[in-house]
Structure 1
Amino acid sequence: MATRIEFSQHGGPDVLKAVEFTPTDPAADEVQIENKAIGINYIDTYVRSGLYPSPVMPCGIGTEAAGIVIKAGSLVTHLKPGDRVVYAQASPGAYSTVHNVMADKVARLPNAISFEQAAASFLKGLTVFYLLRKTYEIKPGEIFLFHAAAGGVGLIACQWAKALGAQLIGTVGSPEKAEKAKRAGAWQTINYRQENIAERVSELTGGEKVAVVYDSVGKATWEASLDSLQRRGLMVSFGNASGPVTGVNLGILNQKGSLYVTRPSLFGYVTNKEELEEASNELFSLIASGVIKVDVPQSQKFPLHEAARAHETLESRATSGSSLLIP
């Protein structure tokens, strides 16, 4: 028997329940993984709440974990039982002691990286990879704006930007989070509770503003993000932490300087085994060399059966960096 977290209706954290189940054998193109550490991501709260509705109930939750392959399907040639692995694009159900995952969505994990480091960084690290390397390629010396710089994605972005020789301006919600982002490599921070974001971006850039803004906050920062952009700048909206951006009048992009907007996701950038290898190899090399550090506070590691408490904590904005479920 194994244990997983599932929900039978959309709602608050309390809809998450631990249930026992008997794992099925992996399909021919799948591997079965015994999870050792499970990543908690803000997108999981969108799935649970119904912002991203689940068509079938009851539904598992979570797409990211690290662990050990215990069974491999008959068509799988690049992975075998005993391999240390990590994944971030599984079908929902990673909040589980055992999970079957498409083998092409699984990366072999170097020995230099722990299961906890991997589960805390893989989805977030792949996200930073596609944002900074593919959606818009950040150049050395470039100044850009990144919202929620002390979050799980943000702290990796701060470190990655520093490694690229770029200057990241990060928005944060407290002096403590500002200090955390600065330590990670942010060039400057803006406390959005106390400062006008667009005005500060203009001040920090000598009136030039920035060519690209990365915004995972959504509704609350939409206008400020557009107002921070140079003429023909790119607004990269990749999350909805404050609610989705809706009812956009395209004329505003003209008024604010012939701006571009894109709404990317990892699934548009990492679509096959080769793309996964390219992204994970770059991420793993940065983590293994210590350029990107992944530290999860003990207070942000939760037993699997306390998934509801983990979601409450995440949504309260009381966390910084990554959080984990430990089976």
Structure 2
Amino acid sequence: MNDSNKTTEYAVRIHAYGGPQAMVYEAVDVPAPAPGEVQIRQSAIGINYLDTYHRRGIFPIPLLPGALGVEAAGTVVAVGQGVTGFRQGDRVSYACPPVGSYASLRNLPGRHLVKLPDAVGFEQAAAATLQGLTVHMLLRKVTHLRAGQSVLLHSAAGGLGSLLTQWAKRMGLHVIGVVGSQEKLAVARANGCDEVIVGSQEPFAEGVRRITGSQGVDVVFEGLGGSVFHESLSLVKPFGQIVNLGQVAEGLPNVSLADLGPARSLSVCVPGVFAYVRTHPDLQAAADELFGLIADGSLKVHVGARFALSQAAQAHHALESRATTGSLVLLPEGSAA
């Protein structure tokens, strides 16, 4: 203890932008929660590809040095003045800015938190809050899919792809998944994909035409951008939709309106989950739906690998290799996940 209002804890921070080696595991002072804030003892921390953008400076963080991360789950240990919705001992999770979740203890405005039921573990929540709320946004807000319609899902064996596939199948949708290797095919099948295209063995566009008899699909979900986005446009039925969820490969594509219509009558959406979290009229209700499906086994959360918080650089190496399946989590030393 440095004084009565600060506790020495540990965080993974960057002092300059760069590769995984730029991340430093170091002691930090955590003050008492300010008015409106909640202090969380973190048990599990979600790792997302967005974190690599922050680390590299593609999306700069507010201040250097600073901690990375936007998602975690844990227990409330203190509340600031004016906080009424949470109390000490509450189990909570969050998926939102400000960055800084790569830490053993942190303060966060109470409006960003959602309560976590006992039936959902901290690791499950850290792996699924951001991606699960993203799926909620995609299927409840962005698209208007009906049973019997078809979707194409890139990166179907990843954390987001796994949850999206399972939820889509609950809605009665026909899901075509794309994976990068033969090893990921079984994961996509287990998640519920009706058809799986292994991109290393068959160009995905050819695979979709083969599967659909050149009819295409109603919606494409893709997070790669660039040429993958443009090839996917050719696979969407008239009045269908392509949803871009990230730019892992080649950046956000430029789209000519002439490529969308009027003959093809296509729609493009580039939604952001943080806008959804910020503007949702009842975020806890959305989280309750997500956690309820996890609790009753309807959605299975696959944690592909666990790393100690001090091993965050190794976790980023694994994530950027694109050889992982499911979600990755960090566990603060001494935590009970």
Range of TM-score over shorter length:
over 0.9
Cα offset, 1:25, TM superposition: 1.7
Residues 1:306 and 2:334 are matched in the alignment: no
Which one of 28, 37, 42 corresponds to residue 35 of structure 1?
A: 42
Cα offset, 1:304, TM superposition: 0.4
Cα offset, 1:226, TM superposition: 0.5
Residues 1:62 and 2:69 are matched in the alignment: yes
Give the counterpart letter for 2:288 in structure 1.
N
Cα offset, 1:311, TM superposition: 0.2
1:107 corresponds to: 114
Structure 1 CA distance, aligned partners of 2:54 and 2:219?
28
The 8 Å contact of residues 197 and 228 in structure 1, kept in 2 or not, is answered as no
Structure 2 CA distance, aligned partners of 1:31 and 1:122?
18
Which one of 178, 191, 201 corresponds to residue 194 of structure 1?
A: 201
1:159-238 matches, within 5 Å, as 159-238=166-245
Task: Summarize deviations over 1:94-139 as a string: whole Å, max 9, x none.
Answer: 0000111111111111000111111011111111111122100322
Cα offset, 1:3, TM superposition: 0.4
1:316 corresponds to: 321
Give the counterpart letter for 1:218 in structure 2.
G
1:242 corresponds to: 249
Cα offset, 1:56, TM superposition: 2.1
The 8 Å contact of residues 158 and 186 in structure 1, kept in 2 or not, is answered as yes
Query: How many residues are aligned here?
Result: 325
Give the counterpart letter for 1:130 in structure 2.
M
Cα offset, 1:202, TM superposition: 2.5
Task: Summarize deviations over 1:260-291 as a string: whole Å, max 9, x none.
Answer: 11111112222257431122011011100101
Structure 2 CA distance, aligned partners of 1:217 and 1:256?
26
Runs of at least 4 residues off by over 4 Å: none
What secondary structure sits across from 2:12 in the alignment?
strand
Task: Summarize deviations over 1:283-319 as a string: whole Å, max 9, x none.
Answer: 011100101111324xx10010111110001000121
Which one of 256, 274, 295 corresponds to residue 302 of structure 2?
A: 295
The 8 Å contact of residues 181 and 189 in structure 1, kept in 2 or not, is answered as yes
What secondary structure sits across from 1:281 in the alignment?
helix
The 8 Å contact of residues 227 and 256 in structure 1, kept in 2 or not, is answered as no
Sort the Cα spacing of 1:256 and 1:33 in 2 relative to 1 into closer, same or farther, 3 A. farther
User: TM-score, normalised to structure 1's length?
Assistant: 0.95
Structure 1 CA distance, aligned partners of 2:144 and 2:38?
34
The 8 Å contact of residues 11 and 27 in structure 2, kept in 1 or not, is answered as yes
Q: Percent identity among equivalent residues?
A: 42
What secondary structure sits across from 1:47 in the alignment?
helix
Structure 1 CA distance, aligned partners of 2:263 and 2:26?
51
Cα offset, 1:76, TM superposition: 1.2
Give the counterpart letter for 2:316 in structure 1.
H
Structure 2 CA distance, aligned partners of 1:323 and 1:71?
28
Which one of 29, 49, 52 corresponds to residue 56 of structure 2?
A: 49
Structure 2 CA distance, aligned partners of 1:140 and 1:273?
25
In the alignment, structure 2 segments of 5+ residues that lack a partner are 1-7, 333-337
Cα offset, 1:250, TM superposition: 3.3
The 8 Å contact of residues 90 and 101 in structure 1, kept in 2 or not, is answered as no
Give the counterpart letter for 2:327 in structure 1.
S
The 8 Å contact of residues 104 and 273 in structure 1, kept in 2 or not, is answered as no
Cα offset, 1:161, TM superposition: 1.2
The 8 Å contact of residues 90 and 102 in structure 1, kept in 2 or not, is answered as no
Structure 2 CA distance, aligned partners of 1:25 and 1:221?
47
1:127 corresponds to: 134
1:71 corresponds to: 78
What secondary structure sits across from 2:264 in the alignment?
coil
What secondary structure sits across from 2:167 in the alignment?
helix
Structure 2 CA distance, aligned partners of 1:66 and 1:137?
31
Cα offset, 1:220, TM superposition: 4.1
The 8 Å contact of residues 33 and 107 in structure 2, kept in 1 or not, is answered as yes
Task: Summarize deviations over 1:174-204 as a string: whole Å, max 9, x none.
Answer: 1221110110111111112222222322232
The 8 Å contact of residues 104 and 272 in structure 1, kept in 2 or not, is answered as no
What secondary structure sits across from 1:11 in the alignment?
coil
Sort the Cα spacing of 1:228 and 1:162 in 2 relative to 1 into closer, same or farther, 3 A. same
Sort the Cα spacing of 1:192 and 1:134 in 2 relative to 1 into closer, same or farther, 3 A. same
2:5 corresponds to: none
Structure 2 CA distance, aligned partners of 1:211 and 1:88?
29
For the aligned residue pairs, the C-alpha RMSD in angstroms reads 1.6
Cα offset, 1:27, TM superposition: 2.1
User: TM-score, normalised to structure 2's length?
Assistant: 0.92
